[in-house]
C-alpha cells in the first residue's frame, strides 16, 4: 500500500505559504522519519496526510484513491499533546473505545492498566495518556500511522518502551509509519528512511 501527498500546498488564511507543491510518499512496512525546525509545518503536513485538514492545493491518496470522508480513517495520527487529543469530559474507557475495542493483549503490550480506564484524563500523567492514545489509534483498519512527536514529553525509558512496542506492531501488521520529531538520535535509531524538511520544500 502507498500513502501519497501530491503537490501539497498549505497556508493559514492569508498568511505566508507554509509549504508549496511538496510530494511525500510512504509505503506499507516502512518507517519514515521527518526532521525539521519547529513552526515549519511538520504537524500541519501530518494533519493533512491524516485527513484532519485539507490542503489548499494538491491531494492525499491512498493506493490512488482519496481518504474516506466517513467512518474509520485508515491513516491515524497520534498527537504530541495527548491531553489535548482526548475529550476531558469522557472517562478514558469511552475514549479508548472511540474507534474500536482493543483487546487485553494490546493493553498489556502498552502497559495500560485496567484501573486507568475508570478515570478522567486529568488524573493520568502525559505518558499514561499517550499510551491510551496509541492504543486508540491501532484499530484493525489502520494502515498508516502519523506519529507527531509522540514521546517529546516522556523520559528515555518510557520512550524506548513505547517505541519498542509500537515498532513491533508496525512490523507485525506491515503498517507504514511517519515519525515526526526533532530528535535526530531517535529518528536515526528507528527509521528506515529520513526526510529532511529543508530538502522537502527545496
Partner 1 sequence: MAILEVENLSVSFLRYTGMFKQQTIRVIEDLHLSINKGEMMAVVGASGSGKSLLAHAILGILPENAQMSGMIRYCGETLDPVKQAALRGREIAFVPQSVNSLDPLMRVGAQVRMTAKGKDPIAKQREVFQRYRLPENVERMYPFQLSGGMARKVLLATATVSDAQVIVADEPTSGMHADDVKEALQQLKKLTNQGCAVLLITHDVEAALETAHRVAVFFAGTIVEIAPSADFSGDGERLRHPYSRALWSALPQNKFMPISGVQPHPNEVREGCLFAEHCPLTTIDCKNKRPEMRELREGMVRCHHAT
CB of 190 to partner 1, least distance (A): 8
CB of 168 to partner 1, least distance (A): 12
With respect to partner 1, which residue has the nearer C-beta, 56 or 152? 152
With respect to partner 1, which residue has the nearer C-beta, 8 or 166? 166
Closest C-alpha among 153, 152, 142 to residue 177: 142
Phi-psi region of 79 (alpha: psi -120 to 50; beta: other; left: phi over 0): beta
CB 56 within 8 Å of CB 25 = no
CB of 126 to partner 1, least distance (A): 6
Closest C-alpha among 21, 23, 42, 10 to residue 150: 42
With respect to partner 1, which residue has the nearer C-beta, 23 or 192? 192
CB of 44 to partner 1, least distance (A): 10
CB 85 within 8 Å of CB 13 = no
> What phi, psi does 16 have (nearest 5°)?
-65, 155
Task: Give the dihedral sign, CA 10/52/132/110.
Answer: negative
With respect to partner 1, which residue has the nearer C-beta, 70 or 115? 115
CB of 114 to partner 1, least distance (A): 12
Question: Residues in the site for partner 1, rule: CB under 8 A?
Answer: 36-39, 80-81, 111, 113, 123-128, 149, 152-161, 163-164, 182-186, 188-190
Closest C-alpha among 24, 50, 75, 29 to residue 176: 29
With respect to partner 1, which residue has the nearer C-beta, 65 or 156? 156
For residues 195 and 33, give the distance between their C-alpha atoms in angstroms, rounded to a whole number.
6
Amino acid at each position: 500500500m502507498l500513502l501519497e501527498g501530491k503537490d501539497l500546498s498549505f497556508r493559514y488564511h492569508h498568511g505566508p505559504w507554509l509549504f508549496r507543491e511538496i510530494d511525500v510518499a510512504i509505503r506499507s512496512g516502512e518507517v519514515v522519519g521527518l526532521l525539521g525546525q519547529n513552526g515549519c509545518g511538520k504537524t500541519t503536513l501530518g494533519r493533512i496526510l491524516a485527513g484532519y485538514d485539507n490542503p489548499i492545493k494538491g491531494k492525499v491518496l491512498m493506493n490512488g484513491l482519496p481518504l474516506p470522508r466517513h467512518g474509520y480513517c485508515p491513516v491515524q495520527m497520534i498527537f504530541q499533546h495527548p491531553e489535548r487529543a482526548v475529550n476531558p469530559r469522557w472517562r478514558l474507557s469511552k475514549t479508548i473505545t472511540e474507534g474500536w475495542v482493543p483487546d487485553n493483549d494490546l493493553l498489556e503490550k502498552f502497559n495500560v492498566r485496567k484501573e486507568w480506564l475508570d478515570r478522567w484524563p486529568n488524573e493520568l500523567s502525559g505518558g499514561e495518556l499517550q499510551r491510551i492514545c496509541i492504543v486508540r489509534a491501532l484499530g484493525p483498519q489502520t494502515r498508516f500511522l502519523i506519529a507527531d512527536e509522540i514521546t517529546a514529553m516522556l523520559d528515555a525509558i518510557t520512550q524506548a518502551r513505547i517505541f519498542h512496542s509500537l515498532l513491533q506492531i508496525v512490523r507485525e501488521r506491515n503498517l507504514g509509519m511517519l515519525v515526526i520529531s526533532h530528535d535526530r538520535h531517535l529518528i536515526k535509531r528507528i527509521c528506515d528512511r529520513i526526510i529532511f524538511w529543508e530538502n522537502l520544500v527545496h
